[in-house]
Amino acid sequence: MSDPANLREQALSLLASGKATSRADLVEILQVAPSTVSTVVRRLLEDGAILEEGVGQSTGGRRPKILRLIDAGGVYAVAELGASHARVGLCSPSGRLLAVEETAIDIGAGPAKIFDEVSEAFDRIRTAKAPGQSLLAVGMALPGPVDFPHGRLIGPARMPGWSGYDAQTDLRDRFDVSVIVDNDAKAAAVGEYTVRRDPGDMVYVKAGTGIGGCLVSGGQVYRGGRGLSGDVTHVRVADSGERECSCGSRGCLETVASGAALVRQLAERGLSVASTRDVIAATENADPAVVTLVRQAGRLLGVALSGLVNFLNPDSVVIGGSLSSLDVYVAAAKGMLYERCLPSLTQSLSIEASLAGPDAALIGLGHLVRAHTA
């Protein structure tokens, strides 16, 4: 039997994204009985979360009543932290992204300083884009393993001073509202799933300074026993050169396929690069040495993902994060997946770059906040 809370969130997400506008749409997409959808819709109407607004076109029977989410007053503040920057935004209660800005940070400065900076950014963007709107909840995505839904960091390799930190309680004390803290790749996977039409079972990979991953199956994030699933960055890969990883091991995917790895490799060759953005710029300028290394990094990502595809048989693989903007990186990963995976598994497999782009985690946080703080 379907979980009512899960069906409620799926229905809200479908209505928010426009993929469904009626009970009939929900029945078709969710693949549940009409009576089950009627129960979910009735409760959403009673809760004031949606309203019926006019009728749609008939497909042979009675014209369907149009369902629409109600945007109550107030906003969600959402932020995704990276190694050197943060994306900060505002979402409506329906999950619609209202405004986004980016600000420079240094994740190594520690949680207290970073949260001070993010708090200032929240205040700035609310004053500019939503004056007078009350803050309803806060969502935060962090570039490390998060014990969800408790919001505590567990052994993040690239975040000195963060291990064991109770980020959720800190943010709740600061803002005095409900707070959700999640891993950045998982939040981005939720956002990506939301903007796509029926992606089926989806493996999402966030390839930026580091590499994170997530499986979305049946519309739900697979989190694992402690909520720490998706740590593809420390999968051992061949041709890694046995470089030492930030986790203390050797030969991890992070050491050869991440933005940090490319920065290191290019600097070793005497090129002036200091960040993943520099790598992207040099690739877009068609620097031959850079393009060659980026292509090899994409191939090694494909090697790591091929094992997941053979094991999980997903309907789609989506590559997000900043490196997904580079066609050569995505194409190399895609080519290696076709080369390494069983033909029966790639025959109908969709392998694409992200549609949600850099806002994927913010969109995902909007939906996670609504689901877990309602």
How do residues 256-275 score in pLDDT, each as one tens digit?
A: 999 999 999 999 999 989 99
Among the residue ranges 49-58, 164-173, 222-231, 337-346, the one predicted with the least confidence is 49-58
Give me the percent of the chain exceeding a pLDDT of 70. Answer: 95
- Banded model confidence at residue 60, pLDDT cuts 50, 70, 90: low
Give the mean pLDDT of 179-203: 93
Look at residue 71 in the predicted model and tell me its pLDDT.
66
Q: For the segment 201-217, what is each residue's pLDDT rounded down to a tens digit?
A: 999 999 999 999 999 99
Q: Which CATH superfamily is domain 75-189+360-373 in?
A: ATPase, nucleotide binding domain (3.30.420.40)
Look at residue 325 in the predicted model and tell me its pLDDT.
96
Look at residue 5 in the predicted model and tell me its pLDDT.
67
> 321 φ, ψ to 5°?
80, 175
Question: Is 75-189+360-373's fold the same as 198-354's?
Answer: yes
- Banded model confidence at residue 1, pLDDT cuts 50, 70, 90: very low
**Distance of alpha carbon 74 from alpha carbon 286, whole angstroms:** 46
Whole-angstrom distance between the N-terminal and C-terminal Cα of the chain?
A: 22
Give the mean pLDDT of 81-95: 91
Q: Decide if 256 contacts 240 (C-beta within 8 A).
A: yes
Domain extents in the chain? 4-69, 75-189+360-373, 198-354
Q: How is residue 227 written in tokens?
A: 């909520």
Compute CA 344 distance to the chain's CA centroid, rounded to the nearest angstrom: 28
Q: For the segment 102-135, what is each residue's pLDDT rounded down to a tens digit?
A: 999 999 999 999 999 999 999 999 999 998 889 9
DSSP type of residue 134? P
Q: Which residues of 313-339 are buried (b: 16+ CB within 10 A; e: fewer)?
A: ebebbbbbbbbbbbebbbbbbbebbee
**Distance of alpha carbon 171 from alpha carbon 128, whole angstroms:** 22
**Angle formed by the axes of helices 23-30 and 4-17, nearest 10°:** 120
Q: For the segment 237-260, what is each residue's pLDDT rounded down to a tens digit?
A: 887 778 888 888 898 999 999 999
Q: What is the architecture, at CATH level 2, of domain 198-354?
A: 2-Layer Sandwich (3.30)
Q: Which residues of 272-287 are buried (b: 16+ CB within 10 A; e: fewer)?
A: ebebbbbbbebbeeeb
DSSP type of residue 279? H
Is the bond leading into 358 cis (omega within 30 degrees of zero)? no
Q: Decide if 167 contacts 153 (C-beta within 8 A).
A: yes
Relative to beta strand 85-91, strand 75-81 is antiparallel
- Banded model confidence at residue 225, pLDDT cuts 50, 70, 90: confident
Tell me the pTM. 0.84
**Distance of alpha carbon 195 from alpha carbon 179, whole angstroms:** 23
Look at residue 239 in the predicted model and tell me its pLDDT.
75
Look at residue 96 in the predicted model and tell me its pLDDT.
83
Provide the CB-side half-sphere exposure for 177 (13 A, CA): 20
Q: How is residue 174 written in tokens?
A: 């600061």
3-state SS class at 172: helix
At the topology level of CATH, where does 4-69 sit?
Arc Repressor Mutant, subunit A (1.10.10)
Give me the percent of the chain exceeding a pLDDT of 90. Answer: 64
- Banded model confidence at residue 326, pLDDT cuts 50, 70, 90: very high
Instruction: Out of 9-13, 119-123, 223-227, give the one with best mean pLDDT.
Output: 119-123
